[in-house]
Amino acid sequence: MAKTGIFSQRMLRHGEELREIYEELYGDGASYERLVEMMERYSASRSVQLKSLDRKREKDPDWYKGSEMLGVTMYPKLFAGGLKGLMERLDYLSEQGITYLHLMPLLKMPHPMNDGGYAVEDFRTVDEEIGTNEELEELTKELRKRRISLCLDVVMNHTANSHEWAVRARAGEQEYIDRYQCYDTYDIPSQFERTMPQVFPSTAPGNFTWCEEMKKYVLTTFYPYQWDLNYHNPTVFNEMTENILFLANMGVEIFRIDAVPYIWKELGTNCRNLPQVHKIVRMLRIILETVCPAVILKGEVVMAPRELPAYFGTPERPECHMLYGVSSMVNLWAALATQDTRLLKQQMDVIHSLPGNCFFVNYLRCHDDIGWGLDEEEERRLMIDPLLHKEYLYRFFEGTFPNSFARGELYNFDPVTRDARSCGTTASLCGIEKGGFEGDRAQVEMGIRRDLLMHAACMSLEGFTMLSSGDEIGQVNDYSYKENPDTAADSRYLHRSPFNWENASLRDKPGTVQYEIWEGLKRMEALRKKDPCFGKEAEVSTWDTLTPKVFAIRRTVPGREMVCLSNFSGDPQRAHLPSLGGEYEDLFAGERVSPSGVELAPYQYRWIVKETEG
C-alpha cells in the first residue's frame, strides 16, 4: 500500500503534464495507459535500499552539485578484466576519492563490430565478455556503500542490427519493421539525404543502408550496423523507457543519454535538435522523478554553449540534470597548444551567462576523440582563421607541427574539408610520452607540469570534474591497437587501452611520474572538497589578468573569495587582477601574494584566497 501511495502522490505532481506531452506526440491513449502501468510496476519493485535513496534525494535534489563530487570514466574490461575484477579494485577508486563512476557500454553487443559498445544487442543483459547481471547488481550495492554513484550509457538513437527487434524485422514481422525507419524505395531516403548531414562521411557515408533480407532501406545515421529507432512509434518510447527503469532498479543512478539530439527525424529538416527531442527528454525526466527520483540524466550534446540551455529545459519543466562540458574541454586544449586563453575565457563567459539550471561535467579526456568545434565567430573577431587554427591544433597534438611536445593521432581526417579530430591520453598530449621516449627528464617534468595545469584549470570550472581512467597515473598512448584488425582502423583505441596496474603501483614512490601526478591531483581534490568557494552556492566568473597567457576563474561566497590562476605558457608570466585588492594566500605554495602582480612559473597554477566581509 505504501509503495502505491508514493507512486500516486508523485503522479499527482507529474501525471497531467506527462499525459499532455504523450498525447501531443502520439495521440494514443492505450499506449499511455500501458506506460503508466509499467511505471507503477517498476516503482513498486524498487528495493528497500533504492526507495530510501529516492526519499533522501527528493529532499536534496541538487546532491550531484556538491564539491565532494569527483568522477572517473572507464571501460570495466580494460580497467580490471570485467565487473568481477572491478569489484576487487574498488579500494583503488575509494583511495582516489571517486564519488561518480561512469562505466563505458557494458550491455550485450555484437563482436567485433560494436562501435565501442554503442551498438546494443540487448538493453537488459550485461555482455558476457564483461560480466553478468548479477555482478552488475552486486557492484551497484557495493558502490552505494562507498557513496559512489554508477553512471551507464543508454543508447537511445539506435540498436545493433543483431538486436532481437532487427532480427525479427529482417524476418518480415511488420510490428518490428515499424520500430525502425524502413523504406521500400530510395525515394524518401533521398529526400532525407538532401537536408540530413552525415556523421561519418569518410568511414560511413550516407544515412541509409540497404537490407537485402527485408528489401528495404533502413535509416542508419551512425554506422550501417546501427539501425535508428523510430520514435514516431509509441511502442519504441515505452520499451526504451522500460529498459532504463530496468537498469535503474538494478541500482544505476545516472544515465548518460547517448546522441540525444538525433533521436527524432522529420523530412525536410536536418534531423537534429528537433522540438520532439525535448518532449521525449522531458517525459523521461518526469518518469524518473515519478518512479525513481534518485536517478538523474546526463546528456551528450555537442553544440555551441549558447544552444545548450534547451537541453536543460526550464526550472518549471526541466529536462537533463547535467551535460558534458564539451566546449570547455576543447578550449582548454586549444589554450595549451596556442598559449592563448582568449577563446577559453570568452567561452566560459558564455557558459557563466547561461541560466542557473545549467550544470556541467567537466573533463579533459574521455573514450572519444577531441573534435575541434571552436567558436568561429569569436575566432574571426580575434583575427584568427578558423580553418588554419583547426589544422594547427590537430597537427600540434598529432606531434607533427614543429616543436610540438604532444604525441597523438588524427581521427576521421577528411582531405577535402581538411577537418580532423585528435586522439591521445592527457599525459601523451601534454608531452610526458615524448620526454620519456627521448629519455629527457626535463621534458617529462615539463609534461607533468602541463598535465597538472590542465587538471587544475578543469577543476576550477563551474561543475564537477570527471577524470579519464589512467590519467591519474599519467598513462600514455598505447599503439598496440594497430596490431588488432578489429581496432586498427579506429585511432580512438590509442587511448582506450588496458589499465597499467604495474605503473599504478608506483603512485606511492616519490620521484616517479605516477607519484607526482597522483599526489598533485589528490591535493587539488582535497582542496575542492573542503573549501567553501567550491560549494554549490559559490558565484563563479572569469577575471581579466592583463595577459592572454593566464586564465583566471574567480569564486566567491559570503566571507571568502578565491581566484584560480592558470599559466598556459611555457614562460614565466605576471598576472595583474584589476580591481582586486588586499593580500591573498596561495593554497598550494603556502605563500602570500598581491593581486596587483602575481608571478607564475611556466605552466604554474595557483588557487589564491582571502577572507572578505560578508
Instruction: Give the pLDDT of residue 305.
Output: 87
Residue 133 lies in a domain: no
- What number of other Cβ atoms are within 10 A of residue 92's Cβ? 18
Say whether both 479 and 372 belong to one domain.
Answer: yes
Does pLDDT of 202 surpass 80?
no
Instruction: Give the pLDDT of residue 386.
Output: 97
- Residues 352-369, mean pLDDT to the nearest whole number: 95
Say whether both 457 and 600 belong to one domain.
Answer: no
Query: Which of the residue ranges 29-33, 130-134, 304-308, 442-446 would you say has the lowest mean pLDDT?
Result: 304-308
The pLDDT confidence band at residue 3, using thresholds 50, 70 and 90, is: very low
- What number of other Cβ atoms are within 10 A of residue 185's Cβ? 10
Say whether both 384 and 477 belong to one domain.
Answer: yes
Say whether both 489 and 547 belong to one domain.
Answer: no
Residue 362 lies in a domain: yes
Does pLDDT of 306 surpass 90?
no
Say whether both 492 and 387 belong to one domain.
Answer: yes
Query: What CATH number is attached to the domain comprising 213?
Result: 3.90.400.10
**Structural domain containing residue 605:** 533-611
Say whether both 490 and 582 belong to one domain.
Answer: no
pLDDT (tens digit, 9 = 90+) per residue, 574-599?
Answer: 999 989 999 999 999 999 999 999 99
**Last-in-domain residue among 182, 198, 228:** 228
Residue 527 lies in a domain: no
Residue 79 lies in a domain: no
Instruction: Give the pLDDT of residue 578.
Output: 87
Say whether both 338 and 433 belong to one domain.
Answer: yes
- Residues 412-422, mean pLDDT to the nearest whole number: 92
Residue identified by cell 527525424 is 265
Is the bond preceding 112 in cis, omega lying within 30 degrees of 0?
Answer: yes
How far is residue 428's CA from residue 422's CA, in Å, rounded to a whole number? 12
Residue 361 burial class via C-beta count within 10 angstroms: exposed 0-12, middle 13-18, buried 19 and up:
buried
CA distances from 466 to 70, 103, 326, 406 (A): 6, 12, 12, 22
pLDDT (tens digit, 9 = 90+) per residue, 427-478?
Answer: 999 999 999 999 999 999 999 999 999 999 999 999 999 999 999 999 999 9
Report the DSSP pairing between strands 592-593 and 100-103: unpaired
User: So which residues are the catalytic ones?
Assistant: 258, 300
CA distances from 18 to 236, 257, 412, 454 (A): 17, 19, 41, 43
Say whether both 407 and 545 belong to one domain.
Answer: no
CA distances from 548 to 155, 536, 568, 601 (A): 40, 29, 9, 15
How far is residue 144's CA from residue 253's CA, in Å, rounded to a whole number? 10
Cβ contacts of 518 within 8 Å, gap of 6 or more: 472, 473, 507
Query: What CATH number is attached to the domain comprising 411?
Result: 3.20.20.80
Does pLDDT of 482 surpass 90?
yes
Residue 117 lies in a domain: no
123: closest CA among 8, 272, 242, 42? 242
Instruction: Give the pLDDT of residue 301.
Output: 87
Does pLDDT of 19 surpass 50?
yes
% of the chain beyond a pLDDT of 90: 95
Does pLDDT of 555 surpass 90?
yes
Q: Are 32 and 60 in contact (CB under 8 A)?
A: no
CA distances from 54 to 4, 222, 542 (A): 15, 36, 36
Say whether both 372 and 483 belong to one domain.
Answer: yes
Say whether both 592 and 491 belong to one domain.
Answer: no
Query: What CATH number is attached to the domain comprising 544?
Result: 2.60.40.1180
The pLDDT confidence band at residue 302, using thresholds 50, 70 and 90, is: confident
Instruction: Give the pLDDT of residue 2.
Output: 41
**Last-in-domain residue among 206, 228, 250:** 228
Looking at the structure of the chain, the number of domains it has is: 3
Phi, psi at residue 598, to the nearest 5°? -100, 120
Does pLDDT of 9 surpass 50?
yes
Phi, psi at residue 423, to the nearest 5°? -125, 150
pLDDT (tens digit, 9 = 90+) per residue, 250-280?
Answer: 999 999 999 889 999 999 999 999 999 999 9
Q: Are 593 and 582 in contact (CB under 8 A)?
A: no
How far is residue 473's CA from residue 450's CA, in Å, rounded to a whole number? 14
Instruction: Give the pLDDT of residue 4.
Output: 54
pLDDT (tens digit, 9 = 90+) per residue, 491-512?
Answer: 999 999 999 999 999 999 999 9
How far is residue 365's CA from residue 104's CA, in Å, rounded to a whole number? 13
- What number of other Cβ atoms are within 10 A of residue 153's Cβ? 23
Residue 571 lies in a domain: yes
Q: How far apart are the first and last CA of the chain?
A: 50
Which cell is 62 given? Answer: 541538487
% of the chain beyond a pLDDT of 70: 99
In the three-class reduction of DSSP (H, G, I as helix; E, B as strand; rest coil), residue 557 is classed as strand
**Last-in-domain residue among 498, 521, 545:** 498
Q: Are 264 and 277 in contact (CB under 8 A)?
A: yes
Instruction: Please provide the average confidence, as pLDDT, over all residues in the chain.
Output: 96
Residue 332 lies in a domain: yes
Does pLDDT of 1 surpass 80?
no
Query: What's the whole-model pTM score?
Result: 0.96
DSSP 8-state class, residue 193: H
How far is residue 187's CA from residue 55's CA, in Å, rounded to a whole number? 52
Say whether both 458 and 547 belong to one domain.
Answer: no
Residue 154 burial class via C-beta count within 10 angstroms: exposed 0-12, middle 13-18, buried 19 and up:
buried
In the three-class reduction of DSSP (H, G, I as helix; E, B as strand; rest coil), residue 551 is classed as strand
How far is residue 538's CA from residue 558's CA, in Å, rounded to a whole number? 9
Residue 41 lies in a domain: no
Say whether both 439 and 390 belong to one domain.
Answer: yes
Query: Which of the residue ranges 90-94, 162-166, 412-416 would you say has the lowest mean pLDDT?
Result: 412-416
